Structure 1
Amino acid sequence: MESIYKILMMLLGIAQFIIFAHIIMSWLIQFQVLNLRQPLVAQIWDGLNRLLEPVYSRVRSFLPNMGGLDLAPLIVLLAVYALRIVLDSNRAFFY
């Protein structure tokens, strides 16, 4: 059972990394540090969007329209942190 706990924590860590990468990359694209006309940047951006957009779209359906401010990545990141806390506090169940 300990291995299940470690696998779940690893998957949540990977999810955190992917969400952070998407957030930082969106800022860099918005401030024109990265250019989407570069093939590598466009491929990475497209891959991250394809991976995260199904999750973000579900969260956006519950959020009110905030104009140009997208809070979906923040909500998803907080949910991942909450899952990590729940798993850590129930660690004894896995041993």
Structure 2
Amino acid sequence: MILDALFFLVMAGLNLFFWAIIIAAVLSLLTGFGILDTRNRVVWTIGDFFYRVTEPALRPVRDRLPNLGGIDLSPLVVLLLIQAAMLLVAAIQGYLIRGGVYF
């Protein structure tokens, strides 16, 4: 019972962070191409929120990737890492179920 809740919370948190990175990347593209105007207070607030949520994970990856000009691949790398973490959590849950520790 408790392990179910723990695995659910971990998977839900990873899933929410996955979507936050996608939304932050799309907002960055839309503001970069001038489709969204950051002088609008609502747009700025939403963009700032997603920047603050995702930047702690994106910055270390961005620092380690080579400079590709105007192309930022750090969201892609972080999304792949999140997917790997989700697979790892699911595998751990499966091993616990098969081992009889988890019922």
Deviations 1:17-63 (A, max 9, x none): 10111111112212222111100000111111112112111111211
Q: Identity of paired residues, percent?
A: 32
Instruction: Give the structure with higher Rg (CA).
Output: 2
- Provide the rounded CA distance (Å) in 1 between the counterparts of 2:48 and 2:64: 24
TM-score (structure 1 length as normaliser)? 0.90
User: RMSD between aligned alpha carbons?
Assistant: 1.3
Q: After TM superposition, where is structure 1 displaced by more than 4 Å over at least 4 residues in a row?
A: none
From 23, 26, 41, the equivalent of 1:24 is 26
Structure 2 residues without counterparts, runs of 5 or longer: none
Q: Residue 64 of structure 2 aligns to a residue in which SS?
A: coil
Q: CA deviation at 1:91?
A: 1.7
Q: Work out which structure has the larger RCO, using CA pairs closer than 8 Å and 6 or more positions apart in sequence.
A: 1
TM-score (structure 2 length as normaliser)? 0.84
- Provide the rounded CA distance (Å) in 2 between the counterparts of 1:61 and 1:31: 24
